[in-house]
Structure 1
């Protein structure tokens, strides 16, 4: 009898989720599945946050090029829950960090560790000394449990590696995973990412590249699923106030038993300042790294692989370019990504876009571009992710009884990724009870 009463109490709990990014979607879906009465507030006109699609002059573009990997188990599970088949919307391929010259690290399908070792040994762009040095470092990291001193940077972690390995593998991998340059990035978080991606198991390192607009990958199906299961989705509503009541919490004057703050750290700090000032101060203290995505069109062009690693330099800002045609999406459309883009945003988006366009022309062999690449749109997110620096203290999930936070910035082992956001949303919902 007591168990039935507790189950009924959980079913009848009114939960407000503030923020409809991937963390908020995860929180709302898990709360709905648990039987709670959910209201999801989102200030934009659609769900998805920093990973959604936008209209751009008649075209449907994502508000940033995103990569998922096979280790994103919670994200893939969430997609299936709301009726999305990952195989239909994501192109899966073994990890390939390959440059315009075709040289690079190519993993084959199979157990993770042997696949990585074999890929390093096959890398013809490096000498035997360079390949052996990378394998020695990887073995040492594994023997140490992929742990590093909290104050250590990625640059210091890899200082003894050959320069070419650092330039061609460590630096682009670090900035892609942590959106923080290696001299500033946390070695501890970097190693955790390597452990769970490259060495976690078969398929964990596979690239999952969206071949459908991001809104169709999760946000739009999630909205339909939530509404079909009785949850309210309130778009275009920026929450103004959060206050404690005798029974729970009031969100803009509406009573709820529990609240999940799944908005940005900046917004969460604003709302929590009066009820959890210490938490709010910590959430407001983040430094951020921007990401710039440059969309270009080149009719008739097809690159050798869907994702190509680019040589970076003082006048070459992008680390990767994606061929949407090779992904089964829009032929002749390309997305070049500039991660850790603080210095380039200071130079201006027009300068950055032109530098990317010239970088693409210079990086590939003559004749690759069947028509000159033309910049279609430049999208910059100046607060794309927190700067993942050594010793960074991130705010906790629980602020107060039945008040939790969800976002890729809350305390956890991962950098700011979609998987980190989804896991945070699930954890926040669990913590409410």
Structure 2
């Protein structure tokens, strides 16, 4: 079997397959593993590709536990604020604190408290074809109450387009309100642990090895092998392709169904400003969430080992899309001015990215939420599977990656039991 791509999804799939007794080779086109999970060291600060957080209680943690991978880090909580009109406001952390916050008026507080108290009784699956904005407008008449829930929707989904986002996804996240984990050392530590598990199980990992195409049988109905960038071919009868929908479509030129999937995919993007500071001007202000705009700022090093002693690793972000403004580094600096006045004096390292891809497929109301995403198995090509944050009916972001990896490995292992398969490269 061949796994294409050495990001989190590819490594998890390879490890699961190898543990199940399959002969598997992973091909990664670059010189290093990790994909969007890579972390770089800049002056002792651990820079992820934007603000990464691992949601506890979801598919990612379930699969990691299966693989005996135990990520270490911490969960944010103290020093949290809402940001409205450039001013920090008290962040409510429960039904009682909602009534005391200055972030909402009295009518908004009462409406919001009533909705949150009844949220557990909502069947999120019935909202697949309803947009989050439409659902909020049906349930809340006060703008400040809607803004509050939109803010928490953005931070849990990384999506700002409430007109398109399926309420199924957003409401399920609000119901769970999962804790997040910032990882010690950055996400490269997770990549390293998955690499170790894959190698220990017997998977072969080939770096600087680009797969240019999958080779099909004469009738085009099944996998026969993979062709590498140097022209060599390796016989396999199953391929797991990671990456985005466009990457998968390129592997089978002329396949109309894969091309349609790529064309209808709506990526979720963000602008990010990552800062390594020698110290925090205001140590008690660690997190800010925009309630009147798509802003986020968090001092990840407050709970995870990501900075030198006394330093601070801060991620500032603008969720892009929807009715929000265009990306602007100056706007992200304004968010920092509100959270950490005087921060510019302490900058050791910084990195701005105006358009960072967060996920490959926005689960929209138009396409039916999670169930509208492509399946793990490619129905018309036997032996071709896909893994990623855009595949299958479970989870978004990293949870979607790991859920699809688990599903692909399960399907292949069941098939392996039914009919022995050839080793990758055999």
TM > 0.5 fold call: yes
- Identify the residue that residue 388 of structure 2 maps to in structure 1: 407
Structure 2 counterpart of 1:378, from 352, 357, 363: 352
User: 1:336·1:356 contact (CA, 8 Å) conserved in 2?
Assistant: yes
Q: CA deviation at 1:212?
A: 1.9
Any unmatched runs of 5+ in structure 2? Answer: 228-232, 416-426
CA deviation digits over 1:237-289, x for unaligned, max 9? 22101012489430111011211112221111111345x53134223421223
User: 1:307·1:321 contact (CA, 8 Å) conserved in 2?
Assistant: yes
Quickly say closer, same or farther: Cα 1:248–1:306, change in 2 above 3 A.
same
User: 1:272·1:280 contact (CA, 8 Å) conserved in 2?
Assistant: no
Q: CA deviation at 1:409?
A: 0.6
Quickly say closer, same or farther: Cα 1:327–1:355, change in 2 above 3 A.
same
- Identify the residue that residue 421 of structure 1 maps to in structure 2: 401
Provide the rounded CA distance (Å) in 2 between the counterparts of 1:174 and 1:407: 21
- Identify the residue that residue 70 of structure 2 maps to in structure 1: 85
Structure 1 counterpart of 2:275, from 296, 309, 316: 296
Q: CA deviation at 1:413?
A: 4.2
**2:2 aligned with 1:25:** no
- Identify the residue that residue 192 of structure 1 maps to in structure 2: 172
Any unmatched runs of 5+ in structure 1? Answer: 1-14, 107-115, 199-204
Q: CA deviation at 1:172?
A: 4.5
1:18-417 correspondence to structure 2 within 5 Å: 18-56=4-42, 60-72=46-58, 74-82=59-67, 84-86=69-71, 89-93=72-76, 98-99=81-82, 101=88, 103-106=90-93, 116-118=94-96, 120-121=98-99, 123=101, 125-159=103-137, 160-174=140-154, 176-195=156-175, 197-198=176-177, 205-216=178-189, 218-245=190-217, 248-252=223-227, 253-274=233-254, 277-301=256-280, 302-304=282-284, 306-310=286-290, 312-313=292-293, 318-330=295-307, 331-340=311-320, 352-361=328-337, 363-364=338-339, 369=343, 371=345, 376-385=350-359, 386-392=361-367, 393-399=372-378, 400-415=381-396, 417=397
Please state whether the residue corresponding to 1:193 is helix, strand or coil.
helix
User: 2:271·2:355 contact (CA, 8 Å) conserved in 1?
Assistant: yes
Corresponding residue pairs, total: 388
Quickly say closer, same or farther: Cα 1:389–1:305, change in 2 above 3 A.
same
Q: CA deviation at 1:401?
A: 2.3
Q: Using structure 2 for the length normalisation, give the TM-score.
A: 0.80
CA deviation digits over 1:385-417, x for unaligned, max 9? 2233212232121113222111111131433x1
Please state whether the residue corresponding to 2:258 is helix, strand or coil.
helix
Quickly say closer, same or farther: Cα 1:425–1:336, change in 2 above 3 A.
same
Provide the rounded CA distance (Å) in 1 between the counterparts of 2:92 and 2:142: 16
Provide the rounded CA distance (Å) in 2 between the counterparts of 1:71 and 1:311: 26
Please state whether the residue corresponding to 1:135 is helix, strand or coil.
helix
Please state whether the residue corresponding to 1:37 is helix, strand or coil.
coil
CA deviation digits over 1:183-225, x for unaligned, max 9? 3322122122223x23xxxxxx222122322110x21121122
Of 247-256 and 133-142, more deviation after overlay is shown by: 133-142
Of 227-236 and 128-137, more deviation after overlay is shown by: 128-137
Q: CA deviation at 1:428?
A: 1.0
Provide the rounded CA distance (Å) in 1 between the counterparts of 2:195 and 2:126: 41
- Identify the residue that residue 112 of structure 1 maps to in structure 2: none
Q: CA deviation at 1:365?
A: 7.1
Provide the rounded CA distance (Å) in 2 between the counterparts of 1:232 and 1:360: 45
Q: CA deviation at 1:423?
A: 0.5
RMSD: 3.1
